[in-house]
Amino acid sequence: MRRRHSQLNFAGSVHFVTTATNPRGRWFVTDAVCERLLSVLEHYRAKYQVDCFGYVLMPDHLHAMFRQNEEGDFISRLMRGFKEYTSRHVFPEFGIPVAWHSNYDDVPIPGRDAALTRLAYMLDNPVRAGIVESAGSYRWSSPREDGEREKSVVTISPI
């Protein structure tokens, strides 16, 4: 998988990643599929000891913001593992006839203010798509409030 800005793999670097299905469609809409995908994301987040500041799982794509805690290509390993595992196991398990695009977008985030701005934009994605009326009501995204973190399938770290 080719990444933009792959040279920015230093400890503390923050990455906004997006990956989409091929073909696009409404694949991730049931509770079982969404919970399974997010549990796999959590597995790889923990395996590579990457912090997650937020995520949103849309019907055909995923956005997430990660910080790697060590030097190396941990974000690309996380994404490669997540995409390979879900393509081989989760999609067939639920009869989803798609694959992930081979590449994913990786945008470096330069600081806390930029991270907060991107996070707010990301979490409003379901509203802009017309899925929900308020971002806080979308079940398949990270919580906006610190007190709701325990409700998330994926462990959320404060920015």
Long-range contacts of 31-36 (CB under 8 A, 24+ apart): 31/139, 32/94, 33/90, 33/94, 33/96, 34/139, 34/140, 35/153, 36/90, 36/93, 36/94
pTM to 2 decimal places:
0.91
What are the structural domains of the chain?
A: 14-151 (3.30.70.1290)
Tell me what the mean pLDDT of segment 3-12 comes to: 65
DSSP code of residue 90: I
Answer yes or no: are the C-beta atoms of 25 and 58 closer than 8 Å: no
Strands 14-22 and 99-100, by their bridges, are antiparallel
- On the question of pLDDT at 66 being above 90, the answer is yes
- Residues 84-129 have pLDDT tens digits of 999 999 999 999 999 999 999 999 999 999 999 999 999 999 999 9
| The two structure tokens encoding residue 95 | 């009869």
Q: Look at residue 136 in the predicted model and tell me its pLDDT.
A: 87
Output the average pLDDT for the chain: 91
The confidence band for 9, taking pLDDT boundaries of 50, 70 and 90, is confident
Confidence bin at 150 (pLDDT 50/70/90): low
Number of residues assigned to the chain:
159
